[in-house]
Amino acid sequence: MSGTLIDFCKQLEPTALKLPASLLQAARDGVEFQHHFPTTREEPWKYTRLGRVAALKLTPVKINQSAERLAASETIDIIFEQETWHCAEPTAGLHINFSADLDASAWNACTLQGHVQHINALSAQGGVAIRVDANTKLIKPLRIIHRLQGAHTGLILHHQLILGNHASAQVEVFFEGTSEDSYANVLFDFFIGAGANLHTDMLQQTKGTHYGFHTQRIYQQKDSTVALQTLTAHTHFTRNEVEVFSQEEGTHTQLYGAFIGRENNHIDNHTYVHHTAPNCTSDENYKGVLADKATGVFNGKVKVYQDAQKINAYQSNKNILLSDLATINAKPELEIYADDVKCSHGSTTGQLDQHALFFLRARGISETKATDMLIKGFMAEIVGAVKSSHIQEALHALLD
C-alpha cells in the first residue's frame, strides 16, 4: 500500500497507540482544519514549505512488534532498521517494550500542538516505551538508532521515556543512513519524575532527499533536570520541535542545539518552553552555520505563566552564514505574565570573523583549515555540552 501522507492518516487504523478518544479527535480535526498541510501563511510554517512533503508517494514502514535481541555492549542499544527493531537486554530497573505497552495515563497530561504532532498521533506505527524505575541510576547510556534506507518510505514512530522519581539516564539518539524521497515523523515524550535527571544528545545526519520531522516533548516534575542537545548536520530537510513543560517548582532545563547546513539543506528548529511553575531555570543556546544555498530557521519561544515567579530563562541564538545565498530566519520570542522573573533572549547572524581568519592565515594556516577551526570554535560551546562519545566523535569528524 502506498499513497500520500494524508492517505495514510485516513486509511490507517491508528490505534497502535492507545490514544484517548479526545486526543484522537483533536488530531483528526487538526489535520482536517489545516486542510491537510499548513501553508506559509501560518506563523509556525512561515519559512518552511511543505509542498514537497505533501506530494511524496510513501509506503508505510510497519514495525514487527517482537524485537531481535542485541548482544550486550557499552551502551544499551535500541535499533530501528526497516521493519525490524533490535533491542539489548535491559539492565535492572529498566523496562523496554514496544509501544503497545505505552503508559496511557501519561497521555492525560498531553495536548497536541500543530501539524507534526497531529500526523504522529493519527498514524504512528509504534515506537519504543522505556521506563526507568524510581531511584534507578542507569550506568550505561541508552542508545536509540534510527537507520533509514530505501526510497519512498514513511516511518512514523512515537517513543516514550518515563523516568521515575530520582532516577537518572543518559540517552543518545541517532538518525542516520541514506534514504530518498522518504518521510519520517518521530516523536519522543519524556516524562521526568521528581528529582530525576535526563541527559539526551540527538544527532540527525540522514543522507539523501529525506524529510525528517522530530518532536521532543518534555514534561518535568519537581526539582528535575533535563539537558537536551539537538544536533543536525547536512540533512536535506529537517524540522525539529522541542516543547518543554516545566510543571512543578525547581526544574532546570537546558536546550542546546547546533545545525550545519550546505547545498540546498533546510533545517528548522522550533522550541517552546512553558514555565508554569515558579523557581525554575531554562537555558537555551542554538548555533547555526549555513553554507551554499542552505536555509535555516530558529524560532524559540519562552512563555512564563502568571504564577511562575522567580524564573530565570536565558535564550541565545547565533548564526554564521558562509555564503551570500545562505539564509537564516531567526525569531526569539518571550511572553511573560509574571512580574518577578529574569529573562533574556537574543539572536545574532553574521559572517565568519575576517580579522580572526586573517590572524590564523598570518600564522601559516591555510584558508580552508582556518575556516574549519573558526567554525569548530564557534560550535565548541555546544559540542562541549554533548556527553555521548559517539556523537562527539561524529561531530569532530563533521567539523574537521
Partner 1 sequence: MLKITDLHASINGTEILKGLNLEIKAGEIHAIMGPNGAGKSTLASVLAGKEDYEVTSGAITFEDQDLLEMSIEERAREGVFLAFQYPVEIPGVSNVNFLKTAMNEIREHKGMPALSAKDFLRLVKEKSALVDLDASLASRAVNEGFSGGEKKRNEIFQMAMLEPKLAVLDETDSGLDIDALRIVAGGVNTLKSANNATLVITHYQRLLDHIIPDFVHVLYDGKIVKTGGKELALELEEKGYDWIKSVE
* Residue 353 binds partner 1, judged by CB under 8 A: yes
* Residue 381 binds partner 1, judged by CB under 8 A: yes
* Residue 11 binds partner 1, judged by CB under 8 A: no
- Of 366, 389, 393, 396, the residue at the interface with partner 1 (CB under 8 A) is 366
* Residue 400 binds partner 1, judged by CB under 8 A: no
* Residue 365 binds partner 1, judged by CB under 8 A: yes
| CB of 358 vs partner 1, minimal distance in Å | 6
* Residue 355 binds partner 1, judged by CB under 8 A: yes
* Residue 367 binds partner 1, judged by CB under 8 A: yes
DSSP string, 301-318: EEEE-TT--S-EEEEEEE
- Of 356, 393, 396, 400, the residue at the interface with partner 1 (CB under 8 A) is 356
User: Within the chain, where are the H helices?
Assistant: 5-11, 21-33, 51-55, 104-107, 114-123, 354-361, 367-385, 389-399
- Of 21, 350, 363, 397, the residue at the interface with partner 1 (CB under 8 A) is 363
Window contacting partner 1 (CB under 8 A); options: 53-61, 81-89, 224-232, 352-360: 352-360
CB 322 within 8 A of CB 293: no
* Residue 378 binds partner 1, judged by CB under 8 A: yes
CB 305 within 8 A of CB 274: yes
Q: DSSP label at 365?
A: -
* Residue 3 burial (CB count, 10 A): 16
* Nearer residue to partner 1 within complex by CB, 334 or 365: 365
* Residue 207 binds partner 1, judged by CB under 8 A: no
- Of 379, 386, 394, 395, the residue at the interface with partner 1 (CB under 8 A) is 379
* Residue 339 burial (CB count, 10 A): 8
**Using CA of residue 82, residue 84, residue 90, residue 95, what is the dihedral sign?**
positive
Q: Which residue has the cell 519559512?
A: 47
Q: How far apart are CA 67 and CA 103, in angstroms?
A: 19
* Residue 364 binds partner 1, judged by CB under 8 A: yes
* Residue 51 binds partner 1, judged by CB under 8 A: no
Total chain residues near partner 1 (CB under 8 A): 23
Task: Tell me how far CA of residue 343 lies from CA of 269, 336, 379, 397, in angstroms.
Answer: 20, 9, 23, 36
* Residue 350 binds partner 1, judged by CB under 8 A: no
* Nearer residue to partner 1 within complex by CB, 280 or 383: 383
* Residue 374 binds partner 1, judged by CB under 8 A: yes
Q: How far apart are CA 335 and CA 310, in angstroms?
A: 15
State in Å, rounded, how far the first CA of the chain is from the last one. Answer: 43
* Residue 348 binds partner 1, judged by CB under 8 A: no
* Residue 256 binds partner 1, judged by CB under 8 A: no
* Residue 399 binds partner 1, judged by CB under 8 A: no
Q: How far apart are CA 168 and CA 177, in angstroms?
A: 30
Helix (H) / strand (E) containing 245:
strand 237-246
- Of 18, 359, 389, 393, the residue at the interface with partner 1 (CB under 8 A) is 359
* Nearer residue to partner 1 within complex by CB, 28 or 376: 376
Binding-site ranges for partner 1 (CB under 8 A) = 353, 355-356, 358-367, 369-370, 373-374, 376-381
